[in-house]
Amino acid sequence: MLPYPNRTRSFLLSGLLLLLLLPPVSSFFGDAYLVSMFSRLLIYALAAASLDLIIGYGGMVSLGHAAFFGIGAYVVGILAWHSYASVPLLTWPLTLEGSESVLIVFPAAVLVSALFAAIIGFFSLRTRGMHFIMITLAFAQMLFFFFVSLEGYGGEDGLSLYARNQLSGVDLGDDTQFYYFCLGFLLLFLYLSQRLVNSRFGQVIQGIRENERRMLALGFPTFRYKLACFVIAGAGAGLAGALIANQSEYVSPGLMHWTRSGEILVMVLLGGLGTLFGPVLGAVVLLLMEEILASFTQYPMVLMGPFLILVVLFARGGLYELLIGRRKPGE
Amino acid sequence: MSCSSVGESRVSEDLLQVACLNKRFGALRASKDITFSVRQGEIHALIGPNGAGKTTLINQLSGELVPDSGTILFDNRDITRLSEHRRARLGLARSFQISSIFDRLTVQQNLALAIQAHQGHSFRFWARADRDPQLAGPTHAALQEIGLEARAGELALSLSHGEKRQLEVGMALAGRPKLLLLDEPMAGMGPGGTAQLSELTRSLKGTLSILLVEHDMDVIFALADRITVLIYGEVIATGTPSEIRANPDVQRAYLGGGE
Ligand SMILES: Nc1ncnc2c1ncn2[C@@H]1O[C@H](COP(=O)(O)OP(=O)(O)O)[C@@H](O)[C@H]1O
Ligand SMILES: [Mg+2]
């Protein structure tokens, strides 16, 4: 068998090749739906990879990650709504107009979700373990009900977009171009995350996951590192949210429901904690299975449930480890 | 008997001054008016039977526990209310009685983190830590110091008990502290490991101060410049090894009995 780094490299290269070739291949077979569906998979893969930063590397099990996903999506929805209605979002202390431009909307989505992550993280990171799970869940549900009650922006029904955001030189309304747009963001996020987990900051985060008490004794003010990690992950989820709003041209509170957080968590566990690429695989496999099973059963969970349990019980490293094997120390 | 806290914080040669430290756990008084000091460059042993409150004292010195009353001066600075990570950055390092390492990181990464802690903040997101020459040099030196070079790439969880104890001490030492608090570093080690750690401790003598909690009397009498005896949370004697050996209170309460 190939040594671990080579196995990883060949897995990543073949995965990348498959994803790059998907649009031409599916258009050859005349199946346009596949491209649109895979855009959705890539977006969830991005959300799952961002969650892996806090769970897999930071050891902070959050059950409220979809909150930031939803916030990112609502930034797109709300800015678009104001742009259609030509009503400024804010008139005081400064005037903020709506927008449909990628260059304004996407940075805004990332910043606003990072801000929410900073606030939620500031309070919830004072707790650990089960308490942390519950408090992140509670914050996310609070946001869910807040948007349900926000009648001005569609309440429970959400908001529809007339079109995707605009970027000069690119037609995001075209499903193939939009697919590559999503793939670009996913690859960028994975690359940045890969740098991050191997940097000094990444080592600190993993040290905290392993033994926070020792980190404090060594002289690390752990809270601020955990918060920074939580904010980065929240920003990543916000970016995914901005993409999903564009993909489906629709935003609703359902995007931040706790079941969505659970689903993203399952993608991470299924793919493999603390592997970054595993959660991408997890997202693709989970959503593909849902898609396929839904075509011949009304209750896909009846078949998916046992599959998930088997993977979690017998392949603790997730599908990623199943596929490329375990890393031996020193490899 | 009342204990008057240092108050008029006198400037002293002593690196660590503890005065009238008290800590309760419910009805249990785990530290009772503890007063003692550690001099610059000395190896100061802290002995006492199980449950005497040695670890509780170490935890208050390191900042993991907040004392109910009393003061702790380190380098003539009041650190009684200072957070744990700030104390570490001032040069106060500790090891744990039960190995407290990073199981799923390699031995090398364990030590690199200990060194990283003392090189300013770690909000560095880009450069690879494992190829950072500022970390590699000191990490290698730390590996050599504890004799674990051959295990550098192994996960810490795969080490033997003795090797874990070595890593435990190595991490405390890696940041080149002024004061090293060692909580039973040799607990559960074989004779070979004990000898090696004693040798390491001896070689450090003079370069830093050590507060050593240890049960092995041979090790203590061979290494320590001074000894403080703790019983039921109270200091009953402080002195040189020969003074402690000759002290009737210590003999009655501690040395005479089970040893
Ligand atoms: N966190 C705690 N809560 C309650 N009691 C404690 C706690 N930590 C230690 N104790 C008690 O305080 C006493 C001193 O414990 P410790 O400092 O661990 O002793 P030593 O290290 O000398 O063996 C023991 O009776 C122990 O049970
Ligand atoms: Mg103890």
Q: What is the pLDDT of residue B21?
A: 97
Q: What is the pTM of this model?
A: 0.94
Q: B56: Cβ below 6 Å to ligand 1?
A: yes
CA of B97 from ligand 1 middle (Å) equals 12
**Crossing angle (nearest 10°) for helices A200-218 and A175-198:** 40
Q: pLDDT tens string for chain A (331 positions)?
A: 788 888 889 999 999 999 999 999 998 888 888 999 999 999 999 999 999 999 999 999 999 999 999 999 999 999 999 999 988 888 878 888 999 999 999 999 999 999 999 999 999 999 999 999 999 999 999 999 999 999 999 999 999 999 999 999 999 999 999 999 999 999 999 999 999 999 999 999 999 999 999 999 999 999 999 999 999 999 999 999 999 999 999 999 999 999 999 999 999 999 999 999 999 999 999 999 988 888 888 887 788 888 888 887 888 889 998 888 877 765 6
Is the domain defined by B1-91+178-259 classed in CATH 3.40.50.300?
A: yes
Residue B9 has pLDDT above 60, yes or no: no
CA distances from B217 to A203, A264, B128, B194, B214 (A): 39, 57, 46, 12, 8
CA of B187 to the centre of ligand 1 (A): 17
| Three-class secondary structure of residue B96 per DSSP | coil
Residue of the nearest CA to atom 26 in ligand 1? Answer: B51
Query: Looking at the predicted structure, is the pLDDT value of residue B3 above 80?
Result: no
Q: Is the pLDDT of residue B255 over 80?
A: no
CA distance B53 to A146: 52
Q: What is the pLDDT of residue B217?
A: 86
pLDDT for B259 beyond 50: no
In chain B, which segments carry CATH 3.40.50.300? 1-91+178-259
CB contact under 8 A, B85 and A216: yes
* Mean pLDDT to the nearest integer, B212-239: 93
**pLDDT confidence of B6, banded at 50, 70, 90?**
low
Q: What is the DSSP string of A123-159?
A: HHTTS-HHHHHHHHHHHHHHHHHHHHT-GGGTGGG-E
Q: Phi and psi for B196 in degrees, rounded to 5?
A: -65, -45
Q: What is the pLDDT of residue B93?
A: 97
Query: How far, in Å, from the CA of B51 to the mean position of ligand 2?
Result: 7
B153: distance to nearest CA of chain A, Å?
Answer: 5
CA B58 to ligand 2 centroid distance, Å: 9
Task: Please report the pLDDT score of residue A84 as a whole number.
Answer: 92
- Among candidates A183, A206, A182, A199, which has minimal Cα distance to A53? A206
Ligand 1 atom nearest B230 alpha carbon? 22
Tell me if A199 and B125 make a contact (CB, 8 A cut-off).
yes
Contact, A268 vs A279, CB < 8 A? yes
- Distance, in Å, from the CA atom of A219 to the CA atom of B115, rounded to the nearest integer, reads 10
**Residue A276 vs residues A31, A41, A150, A245: alpha-carbon distances, Å:** 30, 15, 35, 23
Ligand 1 site, residue B48, Cβ cutoff 6 A: yes
Long-range contact set of residues A148-152: C-beta below 8 Å, sequence gap at least 24:
A148/A253
Say which ligand is closest to the CA of B57: 1
* Residues in B lying within 8 Å of A, measured between beta carbons: 62, 64, 83-86, 88-89, 93-94, 96, 100-106, 109, 112-114, 116-118, 122-130, 132, 135, 153-155, 158, 171, 175
Size of interface A-B (CB pairs under 8 A): 103
Ligand 1 atom at shortest distance from the alpha carbon of B48? 22
Which residues of A fall within a CB distance of 8 Å from B127?
199-200
Of B98, B84, B169, B124, which is closest to residue A215 (Cα–Cα)? B84
Interface test with B, best of A214, A222, A226, A232 (most B CBs within 10 A): A214
Atom of ligand 1 nearest to the CA of B26: 4
Could you report the per-residue pLDDT of B58-95, keeping only the tens digit for each? 999 999 999 999 999 999 999 999 999 999 999 999 99
Q: How many Å apart are CA B22 and CA B31, to the nearest integer?
A: 5
**Model confidence at B2, in pLDDT bands (50, 70, 90)?**
low
Rounded average pLDDT over B3-24: 80
Decide whether any atom of ligand 1 lies within 6 Å of the B52 Cβ. yes
- Is A147 in contact with A153 (CB distance < 8 Å)? yes
CB contact under 8 A, A207 and B100: no
What is the atom index within ligand 1 of the atom nearest the CA of B97?
21
A240 touches A70 (CB < 8 A): no
The encoded tokens of residue B252 equal 């009655």
Distance CA A44, CA A49 (A): 8
Could you tell me if A87 and A98 are in contact, meaning their C-beta atoms sit under 8 angstroms apart? yes
**Nearest CB neighbour to B128, from listed A198, A210, A329:** A198
A215 neighbourhood in chain B, CB within 8 Å: 113
Are B125 and A195 a contacting pair at CB < 8 A? yes
Nearest by CB to residue A199, choosing from B89, B104, B129, is B129
What six digits make up the tokens of B200?
Answer: 């390491």
Q: Which residues have a Cβ under 8 Å from the Cβ of B256 and sit 6 or more positions away?
A: none
**Distance, CA B212 to ligand 2 centroid (Å)?**
11
Report the distance separating Cα A219 and Cα A162, nearest Å.
53
Q: What is the pLDDT of residues B187-208, one digit of tens each?
A: 888 888 888 888 888 888 888 9
**Euclidean distance between CA atoms B169 and B182, whole angstroms:** 7
3-state secondary structure A83-125: HHHCCCCECCCCCECCCCEHHHHHHHHHHHHHHHHHHHHHHHC
Distance CA B171, CA A185 (A): 39
Distance between B99 CA and the closest CA of chain A, angstroms: 10
CA A198 distance to own-chain centroid: 20
* Cβ(B30) – ligand 1 distance below 6 Å: yes
pLDDT above 70 (res B5):
no
Residue B258 pLDDT grade (very low, low, confident, very high; cuts 50, 70, 90):
very low
ipTM of the shown complex: 0.93
Q: Measure A262 CA to ligand 1 centroid, in angstroms.
A: 41
The shortest C-alpha distance from A305 to chain B (Å) reads 30
**How many CB atoms sit inside 10 A of residue B164's CB?**
21
Please tell me the predicted confidence (pLDDT) of residue A314: 82
Which residue minimizes the CA distance to atom 1 of ligand 1? B25
Nearest to B114 by CA among B131, B139, B148, B134: B139
B57: CA distance to ligand 2 center in Å? Answer: 9
Interchain proximity B122–A225, CB inside 8 Å: yes
Please give the Cα distance from B206 to B208 (Å, whole number): 6
What average pLDDT does chain B have? 91
